[in-house]
Amino acid sequence: MTDTRRALLVDAFTDTPLTGNAAGVVTDASGLETDQMQSIAAELGASETAFLSPSDEADRRVRYFTPSQEVDLCGHATIGSHALLAMEGQLDEGVHTLETNAGVLDIEIDDGTVWMTQNPPEIRELDDLDYGTVADALGVRESALTGLSADLPLARATTGLPFLVVPVEYLADLSEMDPDMGTIEALSEAHDCAGVYAFTFDTLDAESTLHARMFAPGAGVPEDPVTGTASGACGAYLDRFGALDPTPERMRFEQGHFMDRDGIVHVEASEATTEGLVRVGGEAVVALDGEVAVPEPESDDIIEA
């Protein structure tokens, strides 16, 4: 008999189906091998799929896979999977623990919003990175990136997954980017980053703090609609460099609008510099619910001609 597992697509950072960022969720990944999870993630085709299983260290364990590789942390798949569990009555309001490859994290359910506490931030200015190189990679004029450079440098920022953070002066420049994915992949690899997170304070909604785009072709995600891990890293970056002075208690990040997958990430990073606390939060909604056939595990046998 074919082994099947429940598999869903859950749209995170939105309350409207087919917007936000779609995450695959396999609610019971017990006994699955790494190659089986990778094959299922490729079949589902979401930018990341969360595979949930029991844990000896936390309330549950999760592993995240893009269509091409495993990653240590994923914000939208965490938000989506826990929103699903809360919707189905498997999680109560309050704080729960989650074992990830990046460590054990706190996840809070608060009146329909899922909050993910990320790791203490690590931020490093990239003084040796040339603006022209970054502009060429993003397909944008160099002056679009240098307008804010006096106060906000190019930097590598991580709260569990590292990103190259790139401030952009105007929304028009962000919208017109024509990225060279090969160059972005090389740039990310050179600085040990998962991808490039470009943002501007020029927003569509007056209530928003910033508008962002994120490119991670090296992880099999040319452009991600709405990125929780990168939003947390950027929130810590803003706090570190005093971009908003003082950092608001809660920020609102727009993303995905240029992909017709608009979503909103709530970010708390006002204590990131002193306390190491960064949280991202959002809502989620189920878009697809079904079953997936589990492939046979890959054989280690060597086939001889």
Whether 300 is in a domain gets the answer: no
Whether 299 is in a domain gets the answer: no
User: Is 48 among the catalytic positions?
Assistant: yes
Q: What is the pLDDT of residues 48-78, one digit of tens each?
A: 999 999 999 999 999 999 999 999 999 999 9
Do 269 and 115 touch, CB atoms closer than 8 A?
A: no
Q: What is the mean pLDDT of the chain?
A: 95
Q: What is the pLDDT of residues 85-114, one digit of tens each?
A: 999 999 999 999 999 999 999 999 999 899
User: Which DSSP category does 4 fall into?
Assistant: E
**Options 33, 43, 48, 275, the catalytic residue:** 48
Number of residues assigned to the chain = 305
Q: Are residues 16 and 154 in the same domain?
A: no
Q: Are residues 50 and 102 in the same domain?
A: yes
Of 34-38, 146-150, 301-305, the range with the lowest mean pLDDT is 301-305
Kindly report the CATH number assigned to the domain that includes residue 45: 3.10.310.10
**Residues 298-303, mean pLDDT to the nearest whole number:** 59
Q: Are residues 104 and 130 in the same domain?
A: no
Whether 224 is in a domain gets the answer: yes
Q: At what angle do helices 181-190 and 131-138 cross, to 10 degrees?
A: 140
User: Percent helix, strand, coil in the chain (nearest 5)?
Assistant: 25, 35, 40
Q: Are residues 104 and 162 in the same domain?
A: no
Residue in this structure with the two tokens 């962000």, named with its chain if needed: 174
Residue 191 CA, chain-centre distance (Å), reads 18
Whether 302 is in a domain gets the answer: no
Which pLDDT score is estimated for 272? 75
The span from the CA of 239 to the CA of 165, in Å, is: 13
Q: Is 248 exposed, middle or buried (0-12, 13-18, 19+ CB in 10 A)?
A: middle
Whether 129 is in a domain gets the answer: yes
Which pLDDT score is estimated for 302? 45
Which pLDDT score is estimated for 2? 86
The span from the CA of 66 to the CA of 257, in Å, is: 21
Query: Does the pLDDT of residue 303 top 80, yes or no?
Result: no
**Residues 1-22, mean pLDDT to the nearest whole number:** 96
Q: Are residues 99 and 128 in the same domain?
A: no
Q: Are residues 146 and 248 in the same domain?
A: yes
Whether 217 is in a domain gets the answer: yes
Whether 168 is in a domain gets the answer: yes
Q: Would you call the peptide bond into 246 cis, given omega within 30 degrees of 0 as the criterion?
A: yes
For residue 68, the SS3 value is coil
User: Which DSSP category does 19 fall into?
Assistant: S
Which pLDDT score is estimated for 114? 98
Which pLDDT score is estimated for 300? 58
Residue 254 CA, chain-centre distance (Å), reads 13
Amino acid code (one letter) for 82: H
How many CA atoms lie less than 13 Å away from 196 in the CB half-sphere? Answer: 31
Whether 298 is in a domain gets the answer: no
Q: Are residues 252 and 138 in the same domain?
A: yes
- CA Rg value for the chain: 19
Do 26 and 97 touch, CB atoms closer than 8 A?
A: no
For residue 300, the SS3 value is coil
Query: Does the pLDDT of residue 143 top 90, yes or no?
Result: yes
Do 29 and 4 touch, CB atoms closer than 8 A?
A: no
* % pLDDT > 70, the chain: 98
Residue 150 CA, chain-centre distance (Å), reads 28
The helix (H) or strand (E) run that includes residue 110 is strand 103-110
Q: Are residues 157 and 216 in the same domain?
A: yes
Q: Are residues 190 and 231 in the same domain?
A: yes
Global confidence as pTM = 0.91
Q: Are residues 61 and 209 in the same domain?
A: no
Which pLDDT score is estimated for 35? 97
Which pLDDT score is estimated for 71? 94
Q: Are residues 98 and 139 in the same domain?
A: no
Q: What is the pLDDT of residues 197-225, one digit of tens each?
A: 999 999 999 999 999 999 999 988 999 99
Q: Are residues 105 and 153 in the same domain?
A: no
pLDDT-derived band of residue 299, with 50, 70 and 90 as boundaries? confident
Number of separate domains in the chain? 2
Do 20 and 10 touch, CB atoms closer than 8 A?
A: no
pLDDT-derived band of residue 305, with 50, 70 and 90 as boundaries? very low
Q: For residue 93, give its domain range.
A: 4-112+285-293
pLDDT-derived band of residue 275, with 50, 70 and 90 as boundaries? confident
